[in-house]
Copies of this chain bind each other. A is one copy, B any other.
Amino acid sequence: MIRFLSDYMEGAHPEVMRRLQQTNLEQTPGYGADPYTAEAVERIREACGCPGARVQFLVGGTQTNATVIDGLLARHEGVLAAESGHINVHEAGAIEASGHKVLTLPEHEGKVWAEEVERYIENFYADATYPHMVAPGMLYISHPTEYGTLYTRRELEALSRLCRERHIPLYIDGARLGYGLAAAESDLSLPDIARLADLFYIGGTKVGALFGEALVIPRPDLLPHLMPLVKQHGALLAKGRLLGVQFATLFTDDLYLRMGRHAVEQALRIREAFRQVGIAPAVASPTNQQFFRLPNVLIDRLASEVAFDYWGPRGEHESTIRLVTSWATRPEDVDRLVELLTTA
């Protein structure tokens, strides 16, 4: 069986494991007050071109989103997000559990459009009953999106400009950021993101770490009192250095980007193989998630040897499937998939 189910099916990149092993019996202070965390912070600041940024490591994506959004919003505010946004669909109501409404915007292959964000805000304040409504207090986007698509620099600049004009922070969920940065078509670097977003997180769980996300706040006074907030959300790891060791490794010798490139390369090989048998991708994703609409007959044939997910319900005659690569994808598994497809 070859598996393209998700990008969190293995443990960590071997180099990460090696460093964890190597440092295992050292004694360090807890909660991130250790030298490995300090090193990781420095490396991330450097990679982002943000020497003054606050970098805080958390364990997982949902808890990072919930902590950041809870910390940023005033009580009467909600968070704008695409209808398909992870916080709106797949976090079990974590945002609402801390008291805030997710205000949904139409999604375009997972992305929001600046003009629609602007219209939402304008309509809100134009409505005479707006004090009875939830004020848009920040914008959440994911990059890559839940569909693997990417914002262009131009699109992100438009969102950033709008958010700053409207004084609402722009927050980027970068659970798969590594796979976005590595995409050939992407014109956005890490320093671009640090310049355009007000906060973002660099995903580790899906990109080479055992677990962990690096929250970056270029202007730290945007979210003071971060430490008690993280603790209150149950997101403060006692052995904080585990996060430090991992991220210091990921940001050494370009490992983070190298892993990203590997996954994207394998994903594009898969896309190309489907194209060759006449199946265009269902979504124009340049990253590690690929979606295809196939006849059920073909799906069933593949399924005997390849593991993947349905995307949405199975149709009567054809259905959409998702295949995901990662830093750990073996090229020979992709070879076999290509073979299966082209000889099918």
A332 to chain B: closest CB distance in Å? 14
Contact of A92 among B134, B205, B239, B328 (CB under 8 A): B134
Assembly CA distance A71 to B76 (angstroms):
9
A338 to chain B: closest CB distance in Å? 19
Check A328 against B96 for contact (C-beta < 8 Å): no
Question: Which residues of A63-83 have CB atoms within 8 Å of chain B's CB atoms?
Answer: 63-64, 66-67, 70-71, 74-76, 78
Chain B residues with CB under 8 Å of A342's CB are: none
Chain B residues with CB under 8 Å of A205's CB are: 238-239
Copies in the complex: 4
Check A238 against B96 for contact (C-beta < 8 Å): no
Please report A residues at the B interface, Cβ cutoff 8 Å.
Answer: 3, 5-6, 8-12, 14, 17, 20-21, 23-30, 59-64, 66-67, 70-71, 74-76, 78, 89-94, 96-102, 123, 126, 128-129, 131-135, 205-206, 210-211, 225, 227-229, 231-239, 242, 309, 313, 328
Contact of A236 among B23, B30, B60 (CB under 8 A): B60
Chain B residues with CB under 8 Å of A8's CB are: 30, 238-239
Chain B residues with CB under 8 Å of A71's CB are: 75
Chain B residues with CB under 8 Å of A228's CB are: 76, 92-93, 131-135
Contact of A14 among B24, B63, B89, B133 (CB under 8 A): B24
Check B27 against A9 for contact (C-beta < 8 Å): yes
The answer to whether residues A101 and B93 also contact, given A76-B228, A234-B60 and a CB cut-off of 8 A, is yes
Contact of A62 among B14, B134, B234, B239 (CB under 8 A): B234
**Further pairs besides A60-B236, A90-B132, A234-B234: 16, Cβ < 8 Å:** A8-B239, A11-B24, A17-B21, A20-B210, A59-B60, A61-B238, A62-B234, A63-B235, A71-B75, A76-B92, A78-B93, A91-B231, A91-B232, A93-B232, A97-B232, A234-B235
Nearest B residue (CB) for A58: B234
The answer to whether residues A28 and B9 also contact, given A99-B99, A228-B92 and a CB cut-off of 8 A, is yes
Check A123 against B313 for contact (C-beta < 8 Å): yes
Chain B residues with CB under 8 Å of A23's CB are: 11
Check A234 against B94 for contact (C-beta < 8 Å): yes
Check B233 against A94 for contact (C-beta < 8 Å): yes
The answer to whether residues A89 and B17 also contact, given A10-B26, A228-B76, A237-B211 and a CB cut-off of 8 A, is no
A326 to chain B: closest CB distance in Å? 10
Assembly CA distance A268 to B31 (angstroms):
28
Chain B residues with CB under 8 Å of A21's CB are: 17, 21
Nearest B residue (CB) for A242: B210
Check B133 against A89 for contact (C-beta < 8 Å): yes
Check A238 against B225 for contact (C-beta < 8 Å): no
Chain B residues with CB under 8 Å of A92's CB are: 76, 131-134, 228-229, 231-232
